Each structure stands twice: as structure tokens, then as C-alpha cells.
């Protein structure tokens, strides 16, 4: 136990130093890794009743790349908010509320929209190689994206209000700027899991149908013997 505690303490110290010395790269790597891990756990939830212990690593890598791509812009965005509304004495509460409100009004719709476009485009590109007969190719990419946004964007943005507003109120009120990346990444863990499930919900149902069809075929072959 003592060895584990010392190891964790050293790891935390190195990560903390990384955040201080190279905050941009720390933000990018933290975001990319956590989004990938979030999708891994999302697949565990999705596949609990489909194919246990089966993971789509192409999807994990694709969504992890989303985290790497957005980690840098989000780092600069939060720095901009801190510069725009710096906490000053009694006005700190007002600054926290303004930053939280500004983030939800500007970034929540934008980032969720970009996420669905990205996730749909990447998964469709992968399917052109791995599953070229998928029913999704009965429509164009533009139609698929439009359908996904019209059905899933508003509920996702609405849900994000209930999730991220409390997260950011704590973030802008109590978390030192040095550890903000880590704190938000912990929040991103849960949110990326939710987004992964929502973004691939249709494909999960499709996978379930394939498993059921395969099972029925196996039963028919067994009974005919």
C-alpha cells in the first residue's frame, strides 16, 4: 500500500509539473486519452447485451483523435474566458456566472454540432472499408448528418446544460487554473462516454440485429442436422 501511495504521489507530481510547464500539450494529450478511454467504457455499456469483451478499436482511435484535435482550441478558449472576465474581489461571483453562461451559449452548441459531424463522417468512412453493405449507404453523408443533428443535437445540448453548468460553476469558482485541465478532463470522461453512446446509438441497434440474425441462422442450421 505504501509503495502504491508513493507511486501515485510521484505520478501526480510529474503530471502537475507537466501542467505547469507545458499546459497546451498536457491539455491536448489529456483530452485525447480521456475521450478514447470514455469511448472504451461506452462500448462496454453498449455491448453488455451484444458481444461482451468485443471492442471496436477503430472507433476508439477515431474518437480519441477528436479529443486530440479539440484539446488545443479548448485550452485557448478557457484562457480567453479567464482574460475576458477575471475574478476580482466581490465581482468573482459575477465573473464565474459570465464565464459559465458564455461557455454554454457559445461552445456547447458549436462543439456538440462538430462532434456529431465528425463522429458520423469518421464512422461512415470506416464502414466503407469494413462494412460496405451497411444500410447507412442507402443515403448520402449529408443526409445522415442532417438526420443525426435534427434528432440528437437538441437533446444533447439540453442535457449538456444540466451536466456542464454545475461542472463549470465548480471549475471557475474553486479549481486553480493549473489544475483546470485535469478537472475538466475528469468531467469530460463522463460526458465523452455519454456522447459516444448517443453518437453511435443507431449502429448499436444495427449490431444487435446482426447478432440476432446470426443466432437465428445458427439455430436453424442446428435443427436441420
Give tens-digit pLDDT for 118-143.
888 887 887 788 777 777 777 888 88
Angle between helices 141-148 and 92-130 in degrees, nearest 10:
140
Give tens-digit pLDDT for 33-73.
887 887 787 777 766 544 555 677 767 877 788 889 888 88
**Mean pLDDT score, 135-154:** 85
Q: What is the dihedral sign for C-alpha 93, 190, 203, 123?
A: positive
Cβ atoms of 148 and 116 within 8 Å: the answer is: yes
pLDDT at position 165 is 92
Judged by average pLDDT, the poorest of 52-56, 58-62, 155-159, 204-208 is 204-208
Amino acid at each position: 500500500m505504501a509503495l502504491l501511495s508513493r507511486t501515485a504521489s510521484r505520478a501526480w507530481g510529474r503530471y502537475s509539473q507537466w501542467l505547469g510547464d507545458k499546459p497546451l500539450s498536457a491539455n491536448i494529450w489529456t483530452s485525447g486519452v480521456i475521450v478514447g478511454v470514455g469511448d472504451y467504457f461506452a462500448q462496454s455499456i453498449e455491448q453488455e447485451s451484444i458481444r461482451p469483451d468485443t471492442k471496436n478499436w477503430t472507433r476508439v482511435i477515431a474518437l480519441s483523435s477528436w479529443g486530440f484535435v479539440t484539446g488545443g482550441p479548448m485550452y485557448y478558449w478557457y484562457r480567453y474566458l479567464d482574460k475576458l472576465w477575471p475574478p476580482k474581489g466581490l465581482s468573482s461571483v459575477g465573473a464565474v456566472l459570465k464565464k459559465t453562461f458564455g461557455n454554454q451559449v457559445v461552445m456547447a452548441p458549436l462543439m456538440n454540432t462538430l462532434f456529431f459531424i465528425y463522429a458520423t463522417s469518421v464512422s461512415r468512412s470506416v464502414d466503407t472499408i469494413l462494412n460496405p453493405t451497411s444500410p447507412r449507404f442507402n443515403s448520402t453523408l449529408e443526409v445522415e448528418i442532417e438526420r443525426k443533428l435534427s434528432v440528437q443535437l437538441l437533446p444533447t445540448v439540453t442535457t449538456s446544460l444540466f451536466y456542464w453548468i454545475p461542472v463549470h460553476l465548480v471549475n471557475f469558482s474553486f479549481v486553480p487554473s493549473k489544475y483546470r485541465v485535469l478537472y475538466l478532463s475528469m468531467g469530460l470522461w463522463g460526458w465523452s462516454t455519454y456522447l459516444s453512446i448517443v453518437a453511435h446509438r443507431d449502429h448499436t441497434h444495427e449490431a444487435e440485429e446482426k447478432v440476432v440474425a446470426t443466432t437465428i441462422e445458427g439455430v436453424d442450421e442446428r435443427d436441420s442436422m
